[in-house]
Amino acid sequence: MLKKEVTPNKIIHQHHTNWSRYLRVHWSLYLMMLLPLAHFILFKYFPMFGNILAFRRFKPLTGPYGVSWVGLRYFKQFMSQDDFWRAFFNTLTLSVSNLIINFPIPIIFAILLNELRNLRFKKLVQTVSYMPRFISTVVVISILTELLSPSSGALNRLIQSMTGHVPVYYMNESQYFRPMYILTDMWQYTGWSAIIYLAAITGVNADLFEAAKIDGANRFQQILFITLPSIMPTIMVMFILKVGYLMSLGFEKVLLMYTPSNSMVSDIIDTYVYRMGFQSSANQYSYATAIGLFSGIIGLILVTSSNLLSRRLTGESIY
């Protein structure tokens, strides 16, 4: 029996036929992708052309891309400024501290929540824990300011009634800035971040836990040798993403907590860029753009390094 000859033209025709059939069936999915695709193009990629200002001198009312090339002038300028390096190290210190403390807490919380056997209580805890995520940052800082107020704050009143100490304006004290930032982040985002890990835990094969029970493993051993290794890919992906945001802290929260008294520790790169670009008398837009570009490059290096490190140590990576 003779076999039909398969030519390149037939293969191409079959490929186009399959692709046309696929588009007819799934056209609605591609239509739904247009809106997020337009969002990323307009608000993520198109603004990147503004980075050209880091290499050009900008004057208002002369066009969006400056009037003349200056090369690396602004990069040399901010690298020679003590204020910039203070903001740079403040950013790293606050980011790394926040990562060390607040990254493992949602994982622990998700594991503990998964161990609850009372479903009603479990749903109640989960709902209460992620509700703070929907509270505006402005409202969170306003609540914090009221609680820590030296005149009417609940914390100062409690301490004064118990010890008789003079009220302290915690929002103004530099030594309290970082703990307050980390604690408010913990309260606001722990429950929300735990949802991702809880979803990963529910996807673990139940047969593994049954086999571990037969072998005599207790709950702690099941968590240590089954749950954690099973959700390690999710943990590493989240870790890489968190490392990518080390240089871009919550600008709104820091700005709302910023005061002249705590500026030595609260002035980060984002607030420094804001002050240089919009609050300084010279309106140094190109100078601020150069700092922002430098921060973005550092973030890219951190993401790439953490991705390579994760691939070598665990075999898991984003790309």
* pLDDT bracket for residue 296 (50, 70, 90): confident
Task: Supply the pLDDT for residue 305.
Answer: 87
The architecture CATH gives domain 51-314: Orthogonal Bundle (1.10)
Residues 6+ apart with CB under 8 A from 191: 106, 109, 126, 128, 129, 130, 131, 132, 133
Q: What are phi and psi of 149, to 5 degrees?
A: -60, 140
> Could you give the CA distance from residue 103 to residue 200 in angstroms, rounded to a whole number?
16
Residue-level pLDDT at 22: 65
Q: What pTM did the predictor assign?
A: 0.82
Give the Cα separation of 284 and 286 in Å (integer): 6
Burial class of residue 178 in the structure, from the number of CB atoms within 10 Å of its CB (0-12 exposed, 13-18 middle, 19+ buried)? middle
pLDDT at 12 over 80: no
Q: What is the pLDDT of residue 7?
A: 56
- Tens of pLDDT, residues 33-57: 888 899 989 988 888 888 888 888 8
- At residue 167, what are phi and psi to the nearest 5 degrees? -55, 145
pLDDT at 101: 94
User: Tens digits of per-residue pLDDT, 185-215?
Assistant: 999 999 999 999 999 998 888 888 889 888 8
Domains of the chain by residue range: 51-314
pLDDT at 3 over 70: no
> Which segment of 4-18, 100-114, 284-298 scores lowest on mean pLDDT?
4-18
Reply yes or no on whether the pLDDT at 27 is more than 60: yes
pLDDT (average), residues 27-37:
82
Q: Where does 148-173 have alpha helices with state H?
A: 154-163
Task: Report the C-alpha gap between 276 and 58 in whole angstroms.
Answer: 14
In whole angstroms, give the CA distance from residue 140 to residue 127. Answer: 18
Note the helical H segments in the chain: 8-40, 73-79, 82-102, 104-115, 119-130, 137-147, 154-163, 174-202, 206-214, 219-222, 228-230, 232-244, 251-257, 263-266, 269-274, 285-314
For residue 104, is pLDDT > 90? yes
Q: How confident is the model at residue 283 (pLDDT cuts 50, 70, 90)?
A: low
Q: Are 246 and 300 contacting, i.e. CB atoms less than 8 angstroms apart?
A: no
pLDDT digits (tens, 9 = 90+) for 236-250: 889 888 888 888 777
pLDDT grade, residue 1 (50/70/90)? very low
User: So what's the pLDDT on residue 2?
Assistant: 46
Q: How many C-beta atoms lie closer than 10 Å to residue 11's C-beta?
A: 10
